[in-house]
Amino acid sequence: MTIDSHQHFWKYHPSTHAWINDSMKILKKDFMPSDLAPLLQNNKIDGCVAVQADQSEQETDFLLECAKEHPFIKGVVGWLDICAEDLDEKLQEYSQYPMLKGLRHIVQDEPDEYFMLRPEFRRGISLLEKYSLTYDILIYPKQLSSTLELVKTFPNQSFVLDHIAKPKIDGAVDDCWAHYIKELGQQDNVYCKISGMVTEATWGKWYKTDFVPYLDIVFESFVPERIMFGSDWPVCLLSGEYQNVLDIVQTYLSKYNKDIRRKIMGQNAISFYNLTV
């Protein structure tokens, strides 16, 4: 089964989605399950994981409702305030929703590079294992050092690095990024999504070969059982169509055997998020 491990839905509103600036006008509209369904069907994708884009409980409720109404949505990565004192109570409340598979915080926008090492954040992370929830790590490369420390602190917590930590795709692989990717790859509790890459390249002016050096680092660092494909739709539309993003990964995977391709294109996401398929 083929699974897109990372995509978003939203009903666009200027205040809720203030991160969508004037250079991103293509995203200033609603993107709903009915818009994604034909793309998945046309590209032979069997299901997807819907990931939060807004930091509110309403977002989590919205995604859970989408999943309830559309069976191709196999799981939800939502948002709850990980730093809140009442997080345990919130997690207990949301434990009634089996489609909630994990949480994410938009750490990349936090001005404090060590946000994830704050006591209140670490306390929140410590509660996720109790509820069998994963955690998606959304960061920029400058936050990789604190990420490494965090995942080492919680070896029994399942983490996945979104968008290979968003390095700038410009042909010159940053040695610091590569170092931390290799270090994270040695942590058995950390997976990596090969997603979100086209928006880190010059929008609409890239070649598939531009991504090879970065993918090489990921595949040298992580075993195939801890890598998963994600489209990052509709954000990917800033720099390419769904098929373009899929083609980057499928072309790169063509040198690997069928078993490895099957794992990266679906089985790993099913295992990581404990999806019912």
Segment 228-259, tens digit of pLDDT: 999 999 999 999 999 999 999 999 999 999 99
Q: Does residue 171 register a pLDDT over 90?
A: no
- Average pLDDT value for residue range 13-25: 92
The average confidence (pLDDT) of the chain is 97
DSSP the chain: --EEEEE--B---TTTTTT--GGGGGGSS-B-HHHHHHHHHHTT--EEEEE--S-SHHHHHHHHHHHHH-TTEEEEEE---TT-TTHHHHHHHHTT-TTEEEEEE-GGG-S-TTGGGSHHHHHHHHHHGGGT-EEEE---GGGHHHHHHHHHH-TTS-EEEGGGG----SS---HHHHHHHHHHHT-TTEEEEE-S-GGGSSTT---GGGGHHHHHHHHHHS-GGGEEE---BTGGGGT--HHHHHHHHHHHHTTS-HHHHHIIIIIHHHHHHT---
How far apart are the C-alpha atoms of 252 and 258, rounded to whole Å?
Answer: 13
CATH number at residue 216: 3.20.20.140
The count of domains in the chain is 1
Confidence of residue 214 (pLDDT cuts 50, 70, 90): very high
- Average pLDDT value for residue range 19-31: 95
Q: Does residue 40 register a pLDDT over 90?
A: yes
How far apart are the C-alpha atoms of 56 and 18, rounded to whole Å?
Answer: 14
Segment 101-150, tens digit of pLDDT: 999 999 999 999 999 999 999 999 999 999 999 999 999 999 999 999 99
Q: Provide the domain limits for residue 29.
A: 3-273
Characterise 171 by phi-psi region: left (phi > 0), alpha (psi -120 to 50), beta (else): left
- Average pLDDT value for residue range 173-180: 97
φ, ψ for residue 212, nearest 5 deg:
-60, -45
What local confidence, expressed as pLDDT, does residue 204 receive? 94
